Amino acid sequence: MTDQIWLIGFSGTGKTRLARPLAAALNWASLDLDKVIEREAGDTVAGIFASGGEGAFRVLETQAVEEAAQRSNVVVATGGGAVLAEANRSAMRRRGFIVCLEARPDTILSRLRGGSGAVSDRPLLQGHDPLSRIVAMKAERQPLYDQADFTIDTDDLTPDEITHRVLAAFRERTTVGAGGA
Q: What domains lie within the chain, and their CATH numbers?
A: 4-172 (3.40.50.300)
Q: 10 Å Cβ neighbour count for 95?
A: 16
What pLDDT does 44 receive? 92
What pLDDT does 94 receive? 95
Dihedral class, residue 132 (left if φ above 0, else alpha if ψ from -120 to 50, else beta):
alpha
Dihedral class, residue 85 (left if φ above 0, else alpha if ψ from -120 to 50, else beta):
beta
DSSP code at position 43: S
- Structure pTM? 0.91
Instruction: List the chain pLDDT tens, one digit each, 181 residues.
Output: 789 999 999 999 999 999 999 999 999 999 999 999 999 999 999 899 889 999 999 999 999 999 999 999 999 999 999 999 999 999 999 999 999 999 999 999 888 877 555 555 665 566 678 889 899 999 999 999 999 999 999 999 999 999 999 999 999 988 754 444 3
What pLDDT does 181 receive? 37
